[in-house]
Amino acid sequence: MFRKLILLIALLSCFALTACDDAAAMSYAPSAYGENGHCYYAYDPAEVIALQQAGLCPRTWTPMIMPVTWHAMYYMYYDSPSYYDHYIPVSRRTYYRTTVVRQFETTHRTEITRYSTSGKWKGSDGKAYSGRTVTTKVKSKQAGFTSGSARTTTTKSQSWTTTQSRTTTQSRTVSRTTSGFRSGGARGR
């Protein structure tokens, strides 16, 4: 009887911790993935197909490599597993994470600093947020990113991003299990 009671308490504790963790999680995604009839991609035009299939860009929009200011504005998102694990083709993810992101971060450090607080974001609560709010909350680990549209309260994945220095960023995916990803920054092919 005592063992059953302990097992029941352990199960209830797990459920309570899981429910609290999910309820407190806030995540963000860019409010748009392009503009003026162009769906932006960071590295590979195939990203646009994935974005269109996810309903994030109209199918009539044409692929266009994102402008540097756009990439800098949403850099933390494009450097997170919430983006590259969903929209970068599998065969190119390693190169994207290890080379493209690192080169962008190194080459465009000034632009990232200047524009990262300018973006327009949607929270998992459906509300609009400024780049300054998102940057502050993500850097302080109070929030993460979500892949896909943040217009609904359901999220496909979340990642917390912490900037450890100006040139080194580490992301870790937060879910029932935790794993680490190392990424840097650049736009190169």
Answer yes or no: is 95 within a domain.
yes
Write down the mean pLDDT value for the chain: 72
pLDDT digit string (tens) for 56-86?
999 999 999 999 999 999 999 999 999 999 9
pTM of the entire predicted model: 0.64
pLDDT digit string (tens) for 165-174?
323 333 333 3
Per-residue confidence (pLDDT) for residue 135, from 0 to 100:
76
Number of independent structural domains in the chain: 1
Per-residue confidence (pLDDT) for residue 101, from 0 to 100:
93
Q: Nearest Cα to 76, choosing from 189, 187, 185?
A: 185
Rounded average pLDDT per 10-residue block, the chain, 189 residues? 46 40 68 96 96 96 97 93 94 95 94 91 89 77 60 35 32 33 37
Answer yes or no: is 188 within a domain.
no
Answer yes or no: is 8 within a domain.
no
Answer yes or no: is 142 within a domain.
yes
Token reading at 187 = 């736009």
Structural domain for 89, as ranges? 26-183
Answer yes or no: is 5 within a domain.
no
